[in-house]
Amino acid sequence: MLVLTVLIPLLGFLNQAAAQAVDAWHLDTMYTLITERLDPIINPNGVSSHAHRILGGSNFGANYNYNLYDSSSCSSAAVQADNSNYWMPQLFWKETNGTFTPLKAGTRFYYFLARNKPDIPVKAFPPGLRMVIGNPNAKDSSSTNLPAPAQGFICLKDHFSSPTGDKAGPDFNFATDCPQGLTTTIKFPPCWDGVNLYKPDGSHMAFTDNLQYGSCPVSHPIRLPAIMLEYVWQTYNLRPGVPLKGNLVWANGDTTGYGLHADFVNGWDTAVLNQALNDPNCVGKGEMTMTACPVLAQHMNNAAALACRPARGVLETIQDGVALPSLPGCNIPWSSGNKPTCSPPVSNPGLPSGLTGQDGSLTYTGSDYPLPSLTSYPANKWSRVGCQGGQNSLLNVIQYTDAALTPARCQTYCSEWGMQFSALISGSYCQCGTGLDPAAFMYPDAHCKQPCSGASGFTCGGNGKLELFYNPSSTTVNHPGVTDPQHVGCRKEGNGGRALAASYISYDPMTIEWCKNYCIAQKQPLAGLEFGRVCMCGPSFANGGGVPQPQSYCNAPCSGNSKQICGGPAATLSVYNLTLPGGPGTSSAVTSAITSTKSSTNAPSASGGTFTVTKTVTVTAACTAGRKKRSLRHFDFLH
Ligand SMILES: *[C@@H]1O[C@H](CO)[C@@H](O)[C@H](O)[C@H]1NC(C)=O
Ligand SMILES: *[C@@H]1O[C@H](CO)[C@@H](O)[C@H](O)[C@H]1NC(C)=O
C-alpha cells in the first residue's frame, strides 16, 4: 500500500518535468525514520516546539554534524549512500472529540538537476550543509517566505484513470475528500554561496531565476541538486469520504496549511553522489528513478531502508493513527493572529543524552567548491566573463546604442569612461559598469548568441542577457584626443529638449574658448558644443541628456578652429565643466560668478514641439564669409 501511495503522483510530475526537458532523479522508496519533536537545525541539543516526520539516516538526533550523520549505519531512504535527513511537520487530523490523530504518509524526493551551464555538472551537497525553508507561522501565501510555486498541495482523486482530475490547491483545506491522498510538496533552493553551511535567514541558498530550473545568481554560483520533498498523507485510510477542509492541522497548530516548511541536513556519501552527478548514465537522460542510475543502484537496499531505526535514541513515541489528547508541545490549533500560548505551560520530555552532541561548523573551509573570482583575470586586457545578468545587472551603468557594435567598440567606450565591466546586449547595446550586481544570473552561453550589429561574426549578448567582459585596469577616465582639464566627455543630447537648456547660441567662428566665455557670461557652469558651431549652457544636464557617449561620436571640427572638436552630428555634445580648474579665468572666480546670480538667468524655452530661438546672432559675417551658412534646421532632430 505504501509503495502504491508513493507512486501515485509520479505521472503528474513526470509530465511537468518532461515539459522542462531537464534531468531529474526521483527516489520512490523512502520510509519514515521517526516522528518526534526534534530539529537539530532550529533547536540544537534541545526539544523542538513541534513534531516532525523525519526521513533518512539513522544517526539523526538533536545536534547535527556531517561526520556523525554520514556514518549512519542505515537510512530510511532506499539509497543507503544517502544518510541525509529530510523532514516536514507531522500532519494531524482534528477529531471531533478534541483529540489529534497523526496521519500516515508515503514519502519520496526529487532532485532536479538543471545546470547553470551545459558543461558544468551539478555538484554534490557540501559536507555540513543545512537548509530550512518555509515559514511555520505563515497564514497566507504572501507570508511563506517562498516563491509561490515552491509549496504544493494536491488532492489526488483518481490519478491513474484521470490524472487531470487531481486538484491543486493553495493550501490543504480542500472542500472534498482526496480518495488517493493529500500530497504536500516543498521545493528547496539549489544555488549555494560556496561559503556558509547554514544561515538562519536562509541567505546561504538562493533560488534560480526559474525556481529549480533556470540559472543561479552570481552571489550563489554553486549549483546543487534542487530537492523537492513530497509527502502523500493517507487521509483516505483514516476518514474515507470526509472532506479535508477544517479537519487538518500541522504539528505546530497551523490550520491554514501555509505553515508548511521543511528541513534538510546533508549526510550523503559525497563521492558516490558526485560520481552519479558526473556519470553520463545518470545525467543527460531527462527524468529517471535513482535506481536507473547504475552508481546509485549499487547502493539501493529497500529492506535496510524499511528496517532502519534511529540509532542514538528516541525522544518520544508518536504513532500513526493513534489519537493524542493534544498536539505534542504547546501547539493549540490556530488560523490567524498570534500563536496561542499554553496555560499552564507544557513541559518538554527529557532529552536522552545520546541524542545530543557537538554541532558542525557553519562555514565551509574545504577546497572542492572553488568560486568564480574576478581576481584571476589578467590586467590591461578585456577578458570574457560569460553570459550573465539581466538588463540591470551592472552597477553605475552607462549605455549607448551602436549601429556598428562589436565587442572591441564597446570595450573602447568602457575604457574611455574608466569602467571595468563591458557588456553587449541584444546585438546593438553597449553597457559599461563598475561592478556586477550579485543578484544577476549566470546564463548558458546559448543565451548570448545574437549577432553584433557591426560584425555578424561576433556575438553581442541576447535579449536582456549580457555578453560580459572584464578588465581590472580600466579605471581611468580618458577621452582620446582631448587634453583640456575641464572636458567632461562626449555626452548625449536631451530627449525632447536640450541637455543644457539655459542658453544657447549658434556662432561662427565657434571655438571651445569662445563657448566657455559665453557660458561664463551666461552664469552657467556647464558648456556644451554641438554641430561644430553651436554653444549651449546649463546648470546641469536636463531632459535625460548628458549620458556618456564614445569619444568617437564627438567628431565635428569647430567652425572657428578646425583642430578643435565641437561635438558631433549624432546628437552628441562636447561638454566642459567650467567650475573645474584649467579654464578661462580662475576657477574660483568663475564659480562665484556663476553661483552668485545663476538664479536670475533667463533661460529660453527648450520644451514643447518647436525650438524657440530667443537670441539672434549677427556676429557671424566677418569670419564666415565664403563659408556656407548653417541654419537652425540642424536642431530639428531635437523635436
Ligand atoms: C476521540 O476520537 C478518536 C477518533 O474517533 C478516537 O480514536 C479516540 O479514542 C477518541 N478519544 C476519546 C478520549 O474519546
Ligand atoms: C562639475 O564640477 C563640479 C565640481 O567643481 C562637480 O561637482 C560637478 O559634478 C561637475 N559636473 C559635471 C557634469 O561634470
Reported as a single tens digit per residue, the pLDDT across 590-620 is: 777 776 544 434 433 333 222 333 332 322 2
Strand partners, 431: 399, 423
List, in order, residues 6 or more apart from 146 with CB less than 8 Å away. Answer: 133, 134, 135, 186, 187
List, in order, residues 6 or more apart from 392 with CB less than 8 Å away. Answer: 437
pLDDT digit string (tens) for 475-517? 999 999 899 999 999 999 999 999 999 999 999 999 999 999 9
Atom nearest to 541 CA in ligand 2? 13
3-state secondary structure 218-256: CCCCEECCEEEEEEEECHHHHCCCCCCCCCEEECCCECC
Span from the CA of 28 to the centroid of ligand 1 (angstroms): 33
Average pLDDT, the chain: 89
Any ligand 1 atom below 6 A from CB of 97: yes
Residue with cell 543561479: 216
Rounded mean pLDDT of 205-234?
94
* Residue 304 parent element (H or E): helix 302-307
pLDDT digit string (tens) for 420-470? 999 999 999 999 999 999 889 999 999 999 999 998 889 999 998 999 999
Q: Is the pLDDT of residue 629 over 60?
A: no
Distances (CA, A) of 246 to 92, 105, 138, 143, 376: 11, 19, 17, 20, 59
Any ligand 1 atom below 6 A from CB of 326: no
Q: How far, in whole angstroms, is CA 51 from its chain's centroid?
A: 33
Span from the CA of 534 to the centroid of ligand 2 (angstroms): 22
Span from the CA of 486 to the centroid of ligand 2 (angstroms): 10
Ligand 1: residue whose CA is nearest its atom 9: 323
Ligand 2 binding site (Cβ under 6 Å of any ligand atom): 488, 526, 577, 579-580
Span from the CA of 577 to the centroid of ligand 2 (angstroms): 6
pLDDT digit string (tens) for 358-383? 999 999 999 999 998 888 899 999 99
Q: What burial class does residue 552 get, using C-beta atoms within 10 Å of its C-beta: 0-12 exposed, 13-18 middle, 19+ buried?
A: middle
Q: Is the pLDDT of residue 2 over 70?
A: no
Side-chain-side CA neighbours of residue 377 (13 Å): 19
Confidence of residue 586 (pLDDT cuts 50, 70, 90): low
Side-chain-side CA neighbours of residue 98 (13 Å): 3
Rg (CA), the chain: 34
Strand partners, 102: 92
DSSP line for 74-115:
-BSBSBTTB--EEEEEPEEEE-TTS-EEEPPEEEEEEEE---
CB 52 within 8 A of CB 39: yes
Atom nearest to 325 CA in ligand 1? 13
Cis status, amide bond into 344, omega within 30 of 0: yes
Q: What distance in Å separates the CA atoms of residue 529 and residue 296, rounded to the nearest whole number? A: 71
pLDDT digit string (tens) for 78-98? 999 999 999 999 999 999 999
Span from the CA of 482 to the centroid of ligand 2 (angstroms): 18
CB 566 within 8 A of CB 574: yes
Q: Which ligand is nearest to the CA of 524?
A: 2
Any ligand 1 atom below 6 A from CB of 323: yes
CB 91 within 8 A of CB 105: yes
Confidence of residue 271 (pLDDT cuts 50, 70, 90): very high
Q: Which ligand is nearest to the CA of 325?
A: 1
Ligand 1 site-directed mutation target among 97, 237, 320, most atoms within 8 Å of CB = 97
pLDDT digit string (tens) for 29-88? 999 999 999 999 999 999 999 999 999 999 999 999 999 999 999 999 999 999 999 999
pLDDT digit string (tens) for 517-551? 999 999 999 999 999 999 999 999 999 999 999 99
Rounded mean pLDDT of 379-404?
91
Q: Is 0.85 surpassed by the pTM of this model?
A: no
